[in-house]
Amino acid sequence: MTSTAIDVQVVPSFVQDEWWTPENTSASSAEVRDASTGELLALVSTDGLDTAAAIEYGRTVGHRGLAGLTFHQRALKLKELAQYLNGRRKELYEISARTGATKIDSLVDIDGGIGVLFTFGSKGRRELPNSTVVIDGTPEVLSKDGSFIGEHVYTSIPGVAVQINAFNFPVWGMLEKFAPAFLAGVPTIVKPATPTGYLTEAAVRMMIESGILPAGSLQLISGSARDLLDHLDYRDMVSFTGSASTANKLKNHTNVVEGGVRFTSETDSLNASILGPDAVPGTPEFDAYVKSLVTEMTVKAGQKCTSIRRAIVPKALVDDVVAAAAKRIEERVVLGDPRAEGVTMGALASVEQRDGVRSSVQALLDGGAKIAFGSLDAPETVQADGSRGVVADGAFLAPILLTWDNPEAEALHSVEAFGPVSSVIGYEDTADAVRLAALGGGSLVATVASNDPETVREVVTGIAGHHGRVHVLNRETARSSTGHGSPVPHLVHGGPGRAGGGEELGGIRAVKHHMQRTAIQGSPNMLTAITGVWHTGADQNFDETHPFRKDLATLKIGDAMASELREVTLEDITAFANSTGDTFYAHTNQEAAEANPFFPGIVAHGYLLLSWGAGLFVEPAPGPVLANYGLENLRFITPVAAGDSIRVTLTAKKITPRETDEYGEVAWDAVLHNQNDEIVATYDVLTLVEKQRA
Ligand code: NDP
């Protein structure tokens, strides 16, 4: 079935693995309209929806389905989902146009969302173990004999991840929160914003139709759902995106304040873009700065949480920046219905939103702003049939640039006009620029455009504490940068203070926000059992079969081998020095080596010891071990002098079968000892081993 919300009258919800619509639409149903034409598209209502049952379904059925999958299996599903949605992008684009989004806007929302799935699909397999528990840090030894140790582990939170989303990114906003939650093993309940929730519904419908997701791992509540928080407790989390006032209301809910619901938010943010004093007109930095400013005003019609609201420029350059930005807008911006040829900027999401932006601009004007470019009048736009005119029911607003006599005016740093509106203000010196940026009270992102490393260092270190992300723009990045306004899944998206204090993205950090960190204390054997990773001091199995002869079907954590001692002679050290060219004095000059406080005299090269270690542990015949792809955590501890001997112990520490290959990764704990049983070196040897030896 490929039907979408715009074919039906009421935008359905998907709860308890079934599509649901209210029996009767009532006066409380909200109307949703095409942003460019005002045409009625659908009704939205949650009247009669059993929110508590949906939450309980996630906590039970949803959790069961996800708990049966490892991080790698979940990551693979995210990749499959991304590929599936990629194949249906065109359908989503068509629906997206109704929200006022141009093709570029839809690309940011739809392809950007699919890109997040791909990124987590890949990062999950590269950076997480193929299990359900993540170890945080190294073990702490808590008893003298090593029999009692402690370690931190992350496990999935036992509740649901509820996302309450804004209207501006109906697809990306849902997927950027869904991907880390899914990877963490936490079922999601999506509550999109009403004006554009029909696009989210279409994307969720496709995700369900893909058949890729386990039961209960994704539910959708289309509509107001004002009772959502009433049914949540400390097991659950809410990730909110929207206005600061709603965020404040929700985070003061009893179940958050007293019940311990985890609540993170991403709210309005008066993001700054700072032009360095060196970036005068004619420099590549000035051009890149103006281009970025206009892009952020016009993409999504400026309805981006990351848009530039305050352009902070050297006082003498305010007029130049306004003139250059105005010229670029005049030359490039064609406002209209995104379905018409040549339109480069679409409508706001709804007429209510347009009116909201107008009143925010009025508040800015009342607070001391002057319109330097543009106007609040209803603009003439291109309609779908190519004609031009003013559409009374279209949510259009043309770009507006404001200037201020007082760069410290309160409204400038507190009122967010969530549309194509930016203020250009002047600073005295870079310290002043930092101070003005900080008046935003905490923001998602700031750009610093300068080619002077000292200016960049001073400004970035000055503003970093007020921001979640800082984007440095100069001639080297002007073409390659992903842009001021585009959060990337690898890096933090969120910001302190007014920006909400959350951190939605940030690679695997975002996954861990959906997990509980717990300190586990116990014996090495018990920590090994809990984490699936062998811990020093846990049992080892020295059976007759060398572990290199075991494929993944037979190899077990703790399988080990121990070598005999091998003596290191001065001739060995000299020969190694000559053949490698590493004639560092500690290996060749007795007098100089003795004068070194760390060495008793000439000592063996660390790399000689590693090479000998390999010679001591290897089982040379062809077998299931395919390759050695590196070492980790290498430390040389006790020097080895001529006449000393070394031996190696090798233990299977971590086994990671690869989901899509015929082999997996095995990390071996390697320890070199000397003849006095002192530890000479410790390291992990990384190998690829066949799953099944033919
Ligand atoms: P809101 O804060 O009103 O709505 C955001 C989301 O919260 C919507 O899904 C909304 O649902 C939901 N919501 C509102 N009240 C409750 C409640 N009591 N319980 C549960 N859910 C609730 O923001 P808007 O979308 O109206 O946007 C208003 C302003 O917010 C914008 O003008 C802009 O300034 C800012 N904004 C900031 C964004 C950011 O990313 N930082 C993004 C978008 C907006 P419903 O739609 O059903 O009311």
The active-site residue, picked from 176, 201, 266, 504, is 266
Paired tokens of 314? 């050297």
* Nearest protein Cα to ligand 1, atom 28: 243
> In angstroms, what is the span from residue 564 Cα to ligand 1's centroid?
69
Rounded-to-integer distance, Cα 559 and Cα 528, Å:
13
The string of pLDDT tens digits covering residues 189-234 is 999 999 999 999 999 999 999 999 999 999 999 998 899 999 999 9
Least confident of 306-310, 502-506, 608-612: 502-506
pLDDT in tens, 414-432: 999 999 999 999 999 999 9
The separation between CA 255 and the C-alpha centre of its own chain, rounded to angstroms, equals 27
Q: In this model, does residue 24 exceed pLDDT 90?
A: no
Query: What 3 state SS string does 217-243 have?
Result: CEEECCCCCCCHHHHCCCCCEEEEECC
Residue 25 binned pLDDT confidence (cut-offs 50, 70, 90)? confident
What is the C-alpha separation between 116 and 177, in angstroms, rounded?
Answer: 9
Atom of ligand 1 nearest to the CA of 249: 18
Dist. CA 683 → ligand 1 center (Å)? 51
- Count CB-CB contacts under 10 A for residue 341: 9
Q: What is the mean pLDDT of residues 383-407?
A: 94
Q: How far is the CA of 268 from the centre of ligand 1 (A)?
A: 10
Is 80 a known active-site residue?
no
78 pLDDT tier (thresholds 50, 70, 90): very high
Tell me which of 305, 416, 503, 665 is the catalytic residue: 305
Residue 126 has pLDDT above 50, yes or no: yes
| Structure confidence at residue 29 as a pLDDT band (50, 70, 90) | confident
Please, what is the average pLDDT of the chain?
Answer: 95
Mean pLDDT of 133-150: 96
Strand partners, 161: 188, 237
Q: How far is the CA of 245 from the centre of ligand 1 (A)?
A: 9
DSSP 459: H
Token pair of 110 as six digits: 């739809």
224-244 b/e (C-beta count within 10 Å ≥ 16 → b): bbeebbebbeebbbbbbbbbb
Flag whether pLDDT at 5 surpasses 60.
no
Index of the ligand 1 atom closest to the CA of residue 165: 9
Q: Nearest residue CA, atom 22 of ligand 1?
A: 226
Report the share of the chain in percent with pLDDT over 90: 93
pLDDT for 27: 65
Task: Give the Å distance between the CA of 18 and the centre of ligand 1.
Answer: 26
Atom 24 of ligand 1: nearest residue by CA position: 242
pLDDT in the model for residue 9: 84
Token pair of 454, please?
């000292």
Residue nearest to atom 20 of ligand 1 (CA): 226
- Beta pairing class for 515-522 and 388-389: unpaired
Half-sphere exposure for 271 (CA within 13 Å, toward CB): 32
Reported confidence tier of residue 244, pLDDT bands at 50, 70, 90: confident
- Ligand 1 neighbours (beta carbon < 6 A): 164-168, 191, 193-194, 224-226, 228, 241-243, 246, 249-250, 266-269, 305, 356, 416, 418
For residue 6, pLDDT beyond 90: no
The verdict on whether 632 is a catalytic residue reads no
**pLDDT tens digits, one per residue of 276-315:** 999 999 999 999 999 999 999 999 999 999 999 999 999 9
Mutate to test the pocket of ligand 1, among 177, 236, 243 (most ligand atoms within 8 A of CB): 243
Continuous H helices in 374-477: 430-438, 453-463
State the pLDDT at residue 1: 32
